[in-house]
Structure 1
Amino acid sequence: MIHLCALSSEPMLNVLNKQRNSSKLRFWMLEKCMVWDMHPHSRQYFRSESAIRYEMERHFQLYDKVIHPFSRFAMFWESVMVFAICVNLVLQPLCSAFEFDVVSSTLLIPYVLMVINVIFTTDLIINFNKGYGDDFTRTVTLDRSLIAKRYLRGMFLIDLVSSVPWDLMAHTLFPDTQQGRNVMLTMHLIALISLLRIGTLMTYLKTILDMWFFSGNLQMLIRHSIGVIFLLHWTANLHYLVPNIQRHFNGGWFPESWTTTWQVIYLKSKVDRYIHSLFRATCQLSATDHGLFPIESLADMLVTTCTYIVGYIYITFVTVMALHYLMSRKSSEIKYQEVMSQLDKYILYKQLPIETQERILYYYEYKFQKFQFREETIQDFVPESLNREINYYASRKLIENVSLLQEFSQDVAGKILSCMKIEIYLPNDIIINAGAPGECMYFLGNGTVAVYTPSGKEVCHLEEGSYFGEIALVLRDRRIATVIAIEICEVYRLSKEDFQKYIASEDHLLRRFTIIAERRIKKTYALEERHKQYLLDHSTKWEEGF
């Protein structure tokens, strides 16, 4: 049965717009700053359309001045920051390493970095007004005080220091004297703190790659490749920076170094000098050689030693990562990929229609979330009391949404949850059929369902936190309505025996269920009678016209 909604389907944003008299520009900006269902994290945190609508409503009513971390604007700004951070990680070491070179310098790089500093300053302001998500609890925080507290304890100091245009200040504010050059050198070294933004770069980059559906292995390859490129670039600049610092503190003269060999001195281009430095860094990081030029000074020896150590550590790290990948081929992610591969072959063998293929794949993706594990096997090795505790905390979102479950102690609620069976229904699946015997009731964990009378009249929609099917357990044995899944739904099934044991045994709960059941019966029967009369009238008119 296909759900064709007969109720009001007015978009949620238009409904909210009527509740508040806002200008078109302000509302457009608000829409771009609200949760976006296409964001890669939206479906991980909010696993249904109703949950996304609830999040939008919560954002609009309580935190309309805050940017949602899973919004269109957040995705756009993170893309801008990926570009800006990459430019900074390339140009800032160049500016610091070659600033005091004897070859004439250009002010182009400091001005480009000034533009990057403006972007970083804007990002500083945005971070105080953008919420954050907790991957462990799958919750989003939009409270400004909590946002500020978390940011101040995190990356704020690094972001603040890296937002200052140190290079331009060094060029414009200080004279070309020994003391002025000391201050300029210090500023250039302070500016290198911005290199710590590489962690932010990798975080934003992962979100963007998730957005474009890159596989986990391909994402890891891209991030490691970028890491290798930056490591080579930074090491090349370090090899040139350290001798320059030594020369600066020696008043323009220092003992022999690879940068003072006649081959390097006669190179008039900074690009050529950088290429020689990059080759030297590559040889030493790969632990193959020390480059074209011998180690001449203590500074060369120190930098070379550090480079060899970093190179060995990185090679070891890559080797361990590769071995870990090969040894973990039976991990949950790989098992999931193997199951999906078998599923593709099964679908091909059965020659199923396209629509059925999509529904099967949709079900597996939703159920396992790209992880494959045997929950029954795991639970068999866990004590019953611990299983109840696991079920309680795993279902905390259901408990928060269903006020009925909040009235029980954690132990009793855990027992009820352990009795429930989780079932997943795809869009247009029939969960309950009118007239069928009622042997259970359902609690809606995720998704939205539509309720119909026996003749096909749509009564209402129920969203997560609702329950249905209790009428057959409280007042009568058969179902009085049909319930259909509008989107993919995760429901908790409670059998009639467990209902009698835990809920019907409590008089006040039974009375509440009875009152709600009688109200629902009355509404359903009234709509059913009006719909039958409507169908009868139209049938009579059609026969008369015929």
Structure 2
Amino acid sequence: MSLKRHYCQLGFASESMLPKAEGRWDSFCRGLRKICQVTDLHPETKEHFRSYPALVNERKINLMRGCNLIHPMSVARFQGQVHFKHSDGKKTSCWLFTSSYIWHGAVQLTVLFMMTTHWCGCLVYLPTILFYYWFGHMSSNYNRFLKESERDLLQLDFITRYQLGTFITLSTFFGTGFTLFLASEPEELIVHAFIILFSTVFMVYILVFLLKVYMTLFSSTIRYNELMNQVKEYMRHKQFPVPLQKRVKTFYSQLYQKRYYKEESVLECLSEELRNEITLHTCRVLVDKVTLFKDVPASAVGSVLGCLKPEVYLPNDPVLRAGDDGNCMYFIDYGTVAIYSLKGVEVCHLEDGAHFGEVALLMRDSKRLVTVVAVEITQLYRLDDIDFRQYVFTNQILFERIQTLASQRMHEAVLVDRQFQRDREKFNEKPIEFSETSI
């Protein structure tokens, strides 16, 4: 049996979940509704709907909400006509307030910039004010930037003076203010030089803050890009073929979601109780989907979840092979797998929340009876044989449910193989008729 590409042998309904069209107008309306549904061609679809069943479920919800709805991840995606609200919309709107470090730093810098601009704008007139209070009259040698004959500050209103000082300060901050500040006296040149020096230091401080914010926000993304650069260099050095390079890149992209982190480093400092709580939270969707855990004590479920190890499989990757020794079972977090019998007949598909591989753990010879192949990108949780015997065998409810389901699956696989054998025998016994034209 070739496992390079999956050709589904099971008859499913339409992927769009729409009724069949009976005429041209119905076909036209059906096409419009189809392009308004969520599609896997959208680049952001996999971020919200990681498996095909989740995509189909979203299409059902889309149809229930109304025929005029245009999904933001559809082919006909228009920014002004979207009526769909993501489940993480609240998180997006509250991001500014939850990121306290960045928010407080931005507010602090804004206030500091406004105060600095104000005081530097006032500092421009310092030599003139000191001369006035010292000698009692305005000197004509100062304030050449006013471009007036007498250059008397008392003849100008407060708003005009403040606007001009602020304009000179902002121009100096952004590196264009020296030519605007016409001065010949040493006092004014010293004040302006101080403003230039202070503005340079302040702008460097802002630049450092922005770099720090960028490194804080995109640290995991930067590490992921560094990791991918190493992977690309490794594949180039080993001369990987292009299809294999694409599969490796897809695997890393699915595993890390373009953000690199070390889970061991994050969890090693936590207490055991906190780790178990994180495990339950991480696998809460799995617990809700798996009917095996229904009405099972939380302590037993937590013990099983604590032993699960995540694994990612790409489309057409074999997960299990018939005839191999079975040393673990799997739970499907998201994705779809195809089940093949010993004779290579496709039996069924298993989707989110299903589990497989437990039959071999209950048999004496521990041999796999079926072959399991990933149909799409699938994340599984592996439960090893040692943990299976320690936690599942000791729990009567779990053991009875798995034993019943294993017997049912073995029976179904045997029936499929027998039917396949009968169909083959009938095909071989059927005589081959030759027509005169073929002869």
TM bucket (normalised to shorter chain) is: 0.5 to 0.7
* 2:377 is the counterpart of 1:488: yes
Q: 1:468 & 1:343 partners in 2: Cα distance?
A: 32
Q: 1:434 & 1:375 partners in 2: Cα distance?
A: 33
* 2:389 is the counterpart of 1:504: no
Specify the alignment match of 2:414 in structure 1: 525
Secondary structure of residue in 1 paired with 2:417: helix
* 2:219 is the counterpart of 1:331: yes
Specify the alignment match of 1:36 in structure 2: 39
> 1:314 Cα deviation (Å)?
8.1
* 2:247 is the counterpart of 1:359: yes
Residue 496 of structure 1 aligns to which amino acid in structure 2? D
Change beyond 3 A, Cα 1:70–1:317: farther
Q: 2:200 & 2:38 partners in 1: Cα distance?
A: 43
Residue 514 of structure 1 aligns to which amino acid in structure 2? Q
> 1:40 Cα deviation (Å)?
3.2
Within a 5 Å distance, the mapping from 1:125-274 to structure 2 comes to 126=81, 129-134=83-88
Residue 532 of structure 1 aligns to which amino acid in structure 2? Q
Q: 2:389 & 2:47 partners in 1: Cα distance?
A: 35
1:346-384 deviation line (CA, Å, top 9, x unaligned):
111111222211111111111011122221232221111
Secondary structure of residue in 2 paired with 1:132: coil
> 1:509 Cα deviation (Å)?
3.2
8 Å CA contact 1:444, 1:463 repeated in 2: yes
Residue 414 of structure 2 aligns to which amino acid in structure 1? Y
8 Å CA contact 1:69, 1:132 repeated in 2: no
- Structure 2 length-normalised TM: 0.67
Q: 1:517 & 1:20 partners in 2: Cα distance?
A: 44
8 Å CA contact 1:47, 1:447 repeated in 2: yes
* 2:25 is the counterpart of 1:17: no
* 2:418 is the counterpart of 1:464: no
Within a 5 Å distance, the mapping from 1:366-381 to structure 2 comes to 366-381=254-269
Residue 394 of structure 2 aligns to which amino acid in structure 1? S
1:228-268 deviation line (CA, Å, top 9, x unaligned):
xxxxxxxxxxxxxxxxxxxxxxxxxxxxxxxxx9xxxxxxx
Change beyond 3 A, Cα 1:285–1:405: farther
Specify the alignment match of 1:7 in structure 2: 10
Specify the alignment match of 1:479 in structure 2: 368
* 2:379 is the counterpart of 1:425: no
Q: 1:343 & 1:336 partners in 2: Cα distance?
A: 10
> 1:422 Cα deviation (Å)?
0.8
> 1:421 Cα deviation (Å)?
0.9
Specify the alignment match of 1:217 in structure 2: none
1:198-220 deviation line (CA, Å, top 9, x unaligned):
x9xxxxxxxxxxxxxxxxxxxxx
Q: 1:407 & 1:380 partners in 2: Cα distance?
A: 31
Residue 384 of structure 1 aligns to which amino acid in structure 2? E
State the identity as a percent: 31
Residue 18 of structure 2 aligns to which amino acid in structure 1? L
Within a 5 Å distance, the mapping from 1:432-447 to structure 2 comes to 432-447=320-335
8 Å CA contact 1:281, 1:291 repeated in 2: no
Secondary structure of residue in 1 paired with 2:18: helix
> 1:20 Cα deviation (Å)?
12
1:106-141 deviation line (CA, Å, top 9, x unaligned):
xxxxxxxxxxxxxxxxx4xx56x3323407889xxx
Secondary structure of residue in 1 paired with 2:306: helix
Q: 2:27 & 2:433 partners in 1: Cα distance?
A: 52
Q: Any stretches of 5+ residues in structure 1 without a counterpart? A: 78-122, 139-149, 155-198, 200-260, 262-278, 295-309
Specify the alignment match of 1:52 in structure 2: 55
Secondary structure of residue in 1 paired with 2:394: coil
8 Å CA contact 2:169, 2:177 repeated in 1: no
Specify the alignment match of 1:453 in structure 2: 341
Secondary structure of residue in 2 paired with 1:444: strand
Within a 5 Å distance, the mapping from 1:299-310 to structure 2 comes to none
Q: Which has the higher helix share?
A: 1
Change beyond 3 A, Cα 1:544–1:18: closer
Report the number of matched residues: 345
Q: 1:542 & 1:355 partners in 2: Cα distance?
A: 44
Change beyond 3 A, Cα 1:532–1:281: farther
Change beyond 3 A, Cα 1:538–1:44: same
> 1:489 Cα deviation (Å)?
1.1
> 1:539 Cα deviation (Å)?
5.2
Q: Select which of 394, 397, 400 maps to 2:288.
A: 400
Change beyond 3 A, Cα 1:519–1:342: same
Residue 493 of structure 1 aligns to which amino acid in structure 2? R
Q: 2:203 & 2:21 partners in 1: Cα distance?
A: 57
Q: 1:292 & 1:27 partners in 2: Cα distance?
A: 67
Q: 1:28 & 1:313 partners in 2: Cα distance?
A: 59
Q: Select which of 372, 391, 398 maps to 2:279.
A: 391
Q: Any stretches of 5+ residues in structure 2 without a counterpart? A: 97-147, 149-166, 183-198, 435-439
> 1:289 Cα deviation (Å)?
2.5
Q: 1:330 & 1:480 partners in 2: Cα distance?
A: 47
Residue 58 of structure 2 aligns to which amino acid in structure 1? E
8 Å CA contact 1:420, 1:492 repeated in 2: yes
8 Å CA contact 1:474, 1:513 repeated in 2: no
Residue 73 of structure 2 aligns to which amino acid in structure 1? F
> 1:336 Cα deviation (Å)?
1.3
8 Å CA contact 2:21, 2:27 repeated in 1: no
> 1:486 Cα deviation (Å)?
1.0
Aligned-pair Cα RMSD in Å:
3.9
Change beyond 3 A, Cα 1:293–1:334: closer
Residue 88 of structure 2 aligns to which amino acid in structure 1? D
Secondary structure of residue in 2 paired with 1:43: helix
* 2:211 is the counterpart of 1:286: no
Q: 2:169 & 2:329 partners in 1: Cα distance?
A: 68
8 Å CA contact 1:443, 1:465 repeated in 2: yes
